[in-house]
């Protein structure tokens, strides 16, 4: 049975539709990231699951029991979910210990003390139990917020952009720690983020949302290698975009044809190629242009990879500007001619949507 289920949830603020007939479930111990651009409705969905936003349409179930819908709308404190917000929302006048103890009213004093110590140890904050939030760094506050949410041992954790208040380096460290703490806790987690890399780092499954709708839900590899549309393909990083037309079930590209599955003959299509899908090697002597060859416009070292700007002939007098990303250091000279090999697992064909 799923730990959290949203069934046909719709929500509007006046004219603005923030959730549109949305179905989503999170399995026990699973971490699902709700990913999408700003304003697409992610926070609204999380708040509905938490009980912070009154449900307008659909149902919310925790562990198979309806907590909202069918005439029921349990308040957040009756749902036994752990909440972590972007701004941590710690109580400033309470010590770390008392912040974490806050939701443990049903335990005896001793059980409460033990639970607080164990949870603070879990997030590496045992030495700060007597401190007050204003004396803590951003990363430490985030750990306390996580401990406070985990202390009642909820079956479901709901996290809203929990790392966005932290600077880049700290964010990477804290999200790594948080992933392992959440996994050890055994809770099912729904986490909101607008950062695709963060979603792929954290999630067992990612739910991609746009304009109140779920576009695709799947494991990071599914979304990356089998995106359902150009929006999903483009959301996970820079892509090269080429125009084409379906002919004999294929689309021509300067690097050979691509199969156009389930697309009507003659329709205009968009070809998306990830920069890492263009493999480069020095070309044999020969005249430009010829199919499969590209001229280097510029090369840039980006750290873990190199980015090569290419000019590629596409038809008699048309040049395309494409990016190739090569792992490590690969910095060919300007104007060098390279042979391009296309990795077809990194290229996608979609129909051009009518505007």
| Residue closer to ligand ATP (CB basis): 44 or 346 | 44
| Residue closer to ligand ATP (CB basis): 47 or 323 | 47
Smallest distance, ligand ATP to C-beta of residue 198, A: 13
| Residue closer to ligand ATP (CB basis): 40 or 246 | 40
Question: Which residue shows structure tokens 């699973």?
Answer: 30
Smallest distance, ligand ATP to C-beta of residue 36, A: 6
Q: How far apart are CA 51 and CA 85, in angstroms?
A: 14
308 is written with which tokens?
């090569």
| Residue closer to ligand ATP (CB basis): 88 or 255 | 88
10 Å CB burial of residue 187 (0-12, 13-18, 19+) is buried
Residues of this chain that interact with ligand ATP (CB under 6 A) are 13, 16, 18, 36, 38-44, 194
| Residue closer to ligand ATP (CB basis): 22 or 101 | 22
137 is written with which tokens?
């760094």
| Residue closer to ligand ATP (CB basis): 10 or 80 | 10
Smallest distance, ligand ATP to C-beta of residue 218, A: 19
Smallest distance, ligand ATP to C-beta of residue 87, A: 12
Smallest distance, ligand ATP to C-beta of residue 249, A: 38
Smallest distance, ligand ATP to C-beta of residue 212, A: 7
Give the residue from 182, 133, 186 showing the smallest Cα distance to 162. Answer: 182
Q: How far apart are CA 354 and CA 348, in angstroms?
A: 18
| Residue closer to ligand ATP (CB basis): 76 or 292 | 76
Q: How far apart are CA 349 and CA 203, in angstroms?
A: 26
| Residue closer to ligand ATP (CB basis): 192 or 242 | 192
Alpha helical stretches, state H, the chain:
42-50, 96-101, 109-122, 138-150, 168-185, 196-202, 220-225, 230-235
Q: How far is CA 6 from CA 2, 70, 80, 351, in A?
A: 10, 13, 16, 31
Smallest distance, ligand ATP to C-beta of residue 161, A: 7
What is the chain's alpha carbon radius of gyration, rounded to the nearest angstrom?
Answer: 25
43 touches 160 (CB < 8 A): yes
| Residue closer to ligand ATP (CB basis): 85 or 255 | 85
Dihedral (CA of 35, 37, 43, 49) sign: negative
Smallest distance, ligand ATP to C-beta of residue 292, A: 42
Q: Mutual orientation of helices 109-122 and 168-185 as an angle, nearest 10°? A: 130
Smallest distance, ligand ATP to C-beta of residue 6, A: 14
Question: Which residues are within 8 A (CB) of 210 and not within 5 positions of it... i.e. 6 or more apart?
Answer: 36, 37, 40, 231
DSSP one-letter string for 126-175: GGGTT--GGGS-HHHHHHHHHHHHHTT--SEEEEESTTTTS-HHHHHHHH
């Amino acid at each position: 049975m799923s730990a959290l289920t949203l069934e046909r949830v719709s929500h509007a603020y006046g004219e603005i539709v923030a959730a549109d007939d949305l179905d989503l479930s999170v399995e026990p111990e699973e971490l699902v990231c709700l990913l999408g651009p700003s304003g697409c409705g992610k926070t609204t969905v999380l708040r509905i699951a938490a009980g912070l936003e009154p449900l307008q349409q659909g149902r919310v179930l925790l562990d198979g029991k309806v907590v909202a819908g069918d005439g029921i709308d349990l308040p957040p404190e009756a749902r036994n979910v752990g909440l972590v917000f972007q701004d941590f929302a710690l109580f400033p006048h309470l010590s770390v210990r008392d912040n974490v103890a806050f939701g443990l009213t049903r335990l005896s004093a001793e059980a409460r003390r033990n639970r607080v110590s164990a949870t603070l140890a879990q997030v590496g904050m045992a030495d700060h139990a007597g401190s007050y939030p204003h004396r803590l760094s951003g990363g430490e506050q985030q750990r306390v917020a996580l401990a406070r949410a985990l202390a009642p041992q909820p079956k479901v954790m709901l996290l809203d952009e929990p790392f966005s208040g932290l600077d880049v380096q700290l964010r990477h460290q804290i999200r790594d720690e948080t992933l392992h703490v959440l996994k050890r806790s055994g809770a099912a987690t729904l986490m909101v983020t607008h950062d695709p890399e963060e979603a792929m780092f954290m999630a067992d499954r990612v739910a991609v949302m746009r304009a109140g709708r779920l576009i695709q839900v799947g494991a990071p590899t599914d979304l990356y290698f089998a995106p359902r549309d150009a929006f999903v393909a483009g959301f996970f990083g820079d892509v090269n975009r080429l125009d084409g037309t379906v002919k004999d079930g294929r689309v021509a590209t300067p690097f050979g044809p691509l199969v156009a599955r389930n697309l009507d003959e003659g329709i205009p299509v968009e070809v998306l190629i990830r920069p890492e899908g263009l493999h480069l090697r020095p070309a044999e002597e020969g005249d430009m242009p010829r199919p499969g060859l590209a001229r280097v416009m510029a090369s840039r070292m980006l750290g873990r990879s190199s980015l090569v700007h290419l000019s590629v002939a596409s038809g008699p007098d048309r040049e395309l500007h494409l990016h190739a990303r090569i792992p490590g250091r690969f910095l060919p000279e300007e104007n060098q001619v390279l042979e391009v090999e296309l990795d077809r697992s990194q290229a996608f064909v979609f129909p051009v949507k009518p505007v």
